[in-house]
Structures are given as C-alpha cells and as structure tokens.
A and B are shown apart, each in its own frame.
Chain A
C-alpha cells in the first residue's frame, strides 16, 4: 500500500534510550565505568500517514521504551523525533503540549490505565477542558460522540470504570485517546489482556476507526498473528534494535532474518497435525545490560558463523524496500 509519495508523519533518526544503572559502593571504590541498560539503540524509522505499522518483539526488546520515547514520556539519549515535519526532540512546556495533541496512546492493561475514581464523563471531559478543545457548552455532545464511535452507549457516561468488563474498558481507553482528535495513535499491546472473543471486537474497532478517522497507528504487540492481521508494514525488534522490516505479507511469508523465522515457528500453530518436539530456539534473550558483541542475535542463532561474532551487521535496505540486519539472511538470493 505504501506508495513513495505518501506523506511521512513521524520520522525517527537514530533514536537511542539508555537508562543508567545505579552506582553501587563497589563501583565507586573500583572507579568502574557507569553501566547502562541499552533499551533502545540507534533506531531509525518512518511512519507514513494513514498506515498501520506493527512493532513486534519479545518482552525487553525495547518496543514499549521506543513508544514512550516517541511520546516524549522519556527523553531520548540520542537521535531526533520529527513529527509532521517538526523536530520535537527538545521541545518543552507549552510547545510540547501543543504537539502532543497530535499523538495519543492506548495502553495494554485496561484495569490500571483508567482512574477508578473518575466517571466515564469526567475522564473524557478532562482533556477537552484542559486544552479548551471545544467550547464548554459543547462538551456533553463531544463526550457522546466519543462514546459512540468507540462502540459504547452514551448512557454509561455517569458510571465508573470498575463497572465494566475488560473489553468495555479498553473501548473507554480508546475513546479517551481519541478525545483530542489525534492524527497518530500508539497502541501498546491493546488486546493482550483481553479474552479471544473480545480481542476480535477491539481489533475490528481499531481497524474501523483507523479508516474512518484516517488515523496513523503504531501497533505494538508480541502476538504475530494479530500484527499480521492488522498491520500494513511490520518492524521486528531484538534487544533494542530493528532486525527486520517490510510489508507484512512479505515479512511473514518470506522472513529474511533468522530471528523473525524463529518467532514465527515458536508461536503455537492452530494446526493439530503439525507438532514438533524440537524447540524453535534455545536459551533466553540476553540482558540489555550486557549486549553480545557482533550480531546481537548470534548466541541463539543456528546460522551463526565467525563473522557474526565480531562484526555487527548494519541495517541495509533491499531493492524492494525491505530492511534487514543480518550477514547471512534467509530466503534471499542477493545477501
């Protein structure tokens, strides 16, 4: 779908986010160098207007940190965030607040992300009031509209979040994110905490809203099937860096990076006749404090060779627009 002339809404240039570790007394005595948790390192990406970009990876791979850095909830250690042509990396105060209207977030856990002491109406009215987004007398209509487009009945406005089921709460979370009519939504694992039958309802709602409101969505998930269903393009992250990106069908049908391949093999298949006894992959992901030398994936990779241990593969763009960071990629003629 992504034609070259489509407008780039958000651009990240070499974004890194390192969290310093606490210095212990031992470190101070030994004059040890300060250690960092390298949650995100040197990530560059573009998100085009109207697309749904999937971001997948295991826990600890930095996908949520990246989302929070984009929202400027964290200050990036290095790099630039360009939203709609404007560099927002160093914005502060009111200028930042004005830019934040354009982007909103939907969180994973619909139980802890809603204030239990605010009614639905208060919750949806708050952003409208704070930003003087609509005239005061139009606020009730606006709250009605938000509830309606999120598939909720306007009659629930005076109830508390505690009275609702997980699926309804997630709809409320979506309604709140849409209050300021953002152009860009970051959905961080929005369906992971929901039951299967409810998950399908929320995915449909997100797809509908995206089309109706021409939203751009960064959809973060660890569930490959969900991303495959909803996203136009997909980015796979491992230990804070992008290892592969491309159009969803291409990446899922012919994964180039061994890690993408492993992720797909590890997901339990619905095919009862295809059971294997071998692990898809051995071992745990390494800690982001001591990232392996060379290719970050090499200690777990079955195709690992000498070069992988010493030389870090660069993220290269293939002629068809896919990006891959691997010395010996799969399913490709020209490495």
Chain B
C-alpha cells in the first residue's frame, strides 16, 4: 500500500468561552489515500465540517486546534506558517461549500473569479489565463462556455453555480478536494449531475475527495470509505460496502433504519432515535450515544468506549462497548433490509 495522501491523527478542535469548552472535534483520526473518496457522515453539530476547516487551517476564534497532527504528504499542516498555508490552500487542497450563491462574488464576472484563483506565475499572460478559464468551464460541463464566462453568478442556476465553484476549486490542479455538503442545496436531478461530475473529475484529475454529508444515499453512491461521526468523534469507520451491509455501531444502524427508503414502504411507523444529540459542552460521562441507544448497558453510561477493530478487522473500526451477538444481530437485520430494498 502506498503512503496516504492525508493522515489526521487525534485531531482536537475546541471552542472556548468564559464558562465552557465545547469539544467540536474530539480526537478524530483517519487517513485519505490517493484517488479515493472518503466520506464524513453525521448529523448537524457532529463536528464533520469543523474537521474539514481544521485541515485547511480555517478555524475561527474562539475555536482553536488544540491537539493532534494533520500530515499532508508527510508534513504536519499544523506547524506551517500562515504564508505556507496560503500556498497550500487552493493549490494543493481546495474546498467547495454547500451554498454556491454565497460563496461566489455577485459583483464579478465568472471569468474574473476563475482567473483570480489561477497561479499568475504559471499562467503569465492574459491569453493563457483566459484559455485556462475556458477549459475549466468545459471540464465541469457548462454548455456554451465562451458566453457563460462573461456572465455574473446570478445568471447561473444553482447547479451551474456549483459547477463554477468546482471549476474555481480545481483550476490549480488540486490533489485533495474537501467538499462540504456540495449537493445539499440542489434538486435531486441536479444533485445527481454534480455527484457524478465530482466522481468523473476525481478519476480524470487523479485527486482525492473528502466528502462531508448528512445524506447516506450520497455516501452510498460516491464514497470508497466512510467515517460516521457523532458528538465530535468517529464512531464507526470502514469501507462503504461493509458499512451498508454490516453496520456495527448502534448509531449507524439507527440512522440507516430511520430513513424512509430503507424501512420499506409497508411500514407506517419509522424506527426513530429518541431524543436529540448531546450538548458538546456537557457530554455524558460514558458513551455520548448511550442516552439514545437501545442497547446501552451499565458500562456504556460509565466508561467512554475506544475506537477499536471489530472482530480483529483493522479496516473496520467501531467505538462501542457491546461487541457480543447483539450488534451482530443488528447488522444482520440491516443486511436483510438492504437486500429487500434492492429487490423492490
């Protein structure tokens, strides 16, 4: 196996206020290999976006990365100076956001916004820059790119704006793209187009993608490996197939079965996860999911579980105390449902 492109080790990003410390990211470790799509899934407030911002050095005060390492091609990004980070941001690691309207400047033509992001030492004439901008629009599949370059963001539809965002992010030959809910604000048919565009570009430009999403359907269609996050921690990490066929953490399983599509149309009541995610400033003593977990036992309320291989499988990590037949049973029913769903 080749060395991973990005290695995050025990990342901790906390937010400080007078009265409390909010552990937004609390000891997150994962690796992203070359040309792979790695998914970070979870509900709002679980720390998935903050993990991404930490990688890019974009955590704003009162938040701070307080511990851990972020190794990009072997170098720790946390020890880079501001200037060095600026050289990496946009050149090596780029990011696209959920809301393509607010991320683009409404006063500048699309052409100028793409050209702005180009490296002026490589594209050293106006003609070269224009041609590259044109090429980027073609790459992301925008029809009649020549005339579109002269237009402003408000003249583009949501899907086209997201394509422009992707073009801007990719125009300097990225190695790693961080995509924070890139399709959430889009209609299903447009979401489908943007998802497949990102997949195609990943293969074509030989880059890696970290995809942040709350939508398990998007994960199933795009990711090679996935980490499920809850309350600032990874609770389960494995390859996508294993996650959907054999989820081992009660939270992963509960998330999957609470989706209307997974439960089957005959069932009138959806299985729910009672309660709400915990307050990150005031986490319960044991496992943060214990108060909402159907399988919680005494040990879950007292001790925090570790992220450990499931039955010796180092590629499948689970943060749960319960490792006996019960979770196995949970996995088996989920598998049955998945297969049943495929037949319909």
- A199: which B residues are within 8 A, CB to CB? 258
A226 to B160, CA, bound (A): 27
- A226: which B residues are within 8 A, CB to CB? 260
Contact of A266 among B189, B216, B240, B258 (CB under 8 A): B189
Is A270 in contact with chain B by the CB < 8 A criterion? yes
- Number of A-B residue pairs, CB cutoff 8 Å, is 131
Is B268 in contact with chain A by the CB < 8 A criterion? yes
Given A197-B43, A270-B261: A58 in contact with B255 (beta carbons within 8 A): no
Is A204 in contact with chain B by the CB < 8 A criterion? yes
Contact of B342 among A207, A248, A271, A275 (CB under 8 A): A271
B313 CB, min distance to chain A CBs, angstroms = 18
Tally of contact residues, B, Cβ under 8 A: 50
- A155: which B residues are within 8 A, CB to CB? none
A272 adjacent to B265 (CB under 8 Å): no
B221 adjacent to A249 (CB under 8 Å): no
A270 CB, min distance to chain B CBs, angstroms = 5
A284 to B194, CA, bound (A): 12
A228 adjacent to B221 (CB under 8 Å): no
Q: How large is the interface on A (under 10, 10 to 19, 20 to 34, 35 or more residues)?
A: 35 or more
A200 adjacent to B188 (CB under 8 Å): no
A312 to B128, CA, bound (A): 48
Contact of A200 among B244, B273, B338, B344 (CB under 8 A): B273
- A248 nearest in chain B by CB position: B265
Contact of B255 among A165, A197, A269 (CB under 8 A): A197
CB-contacts of A164-178 with B (<8 A):
165-168
Binds A, one of B49-57, B76-84, B195-203: B195-203
- B200 nearest in chain A by CB position: A277
A199 to B258, CA, bound (A): 8
B270 adjacent to A268 (CB under 8 Å): no
A99 CB, min distance to chain B CBs, angstroms = 31
A228 adjacent to B244 (CB under 8 Å): no
Contact of B216 among A249, A265, A270 (CB under 8 A): A270
Is B215 in contact with chain A by the CB < 8 A criterion? yes
Given A58-B187, A197-B254: A284 in contact with B160 (beta carbons within 8 A): yes
A200 adjacent to B272 (CB under 8 Å): yes
* Listed residue (B241, B262, B265) with the most chain A CB atoms within 10 angstroms of its CB: B265
Is A256 in contact with chain B by the CB < 8 A criterion? no
B195 adjacent to A268 (CB under 8 Å): yes
A197 to B187, CA, bound (A): 21
Is A317 in contact with chain B by the CB < 8 A criterion? no
Contact mask B31-47 → A, CB, 8 Å, 1/0?
A: 00000000000011000
Contact of B338 among A224, A263, A270 (CB under 8 A): A270
A281 to B272, CA, bound (A): 33
Is A203 in contact with chain B by the CB < 8 A criterion? yes
Given A270-B341, A279-B196: A200 in contact with B258 (beta carbons within 8 A): yes
Contact of B221 among A168, A197, A269, A282 (CB under 8 A): A269
A100 to B270, CA, bound (A): 32
Is B256 in contact with chain A by the CB < 8 A criterion? yes
A270 adjacent to B43 (CB under 8 Å): no
- A208 nearest in chain B by CB position: B269
CB-contacts of B204-244 with A (<8 A):
214-218, 220-221, 240-241, 244
Q: List 17 A-B contacts (CB under 8 A).
A: A58-B187, A196-B255, A197-B255, A197-B272, A200-B273, A225-B259, A226-B260, A228-B260, A266-B189, A268-B218, A269-B217, A269-B261, A270-B256, A274-B342, A279-B193, A279-B196, A284-B190
A-B interface, 10 closest residue pairs, ranked by CB to CB distance from nearest: A268-B217, A229-B260, A225-B261, A200-B258, A266-B192, A197-B273, A195-B43, A200-B270, A58-B187, A225-B260
16 further A-B contacts with Cβ under 8 Å, apart from A207-B268, A266-B192, A277-B196, are A196-B216, A200-B272, A225-B259, A229-B265, A249-B265, A265-B192, A267-B192, A270-B261, A270-B338, A271-B342, A272-B220, A272-B241, A272-B244, A280-B192, A281-B189, A282-B193
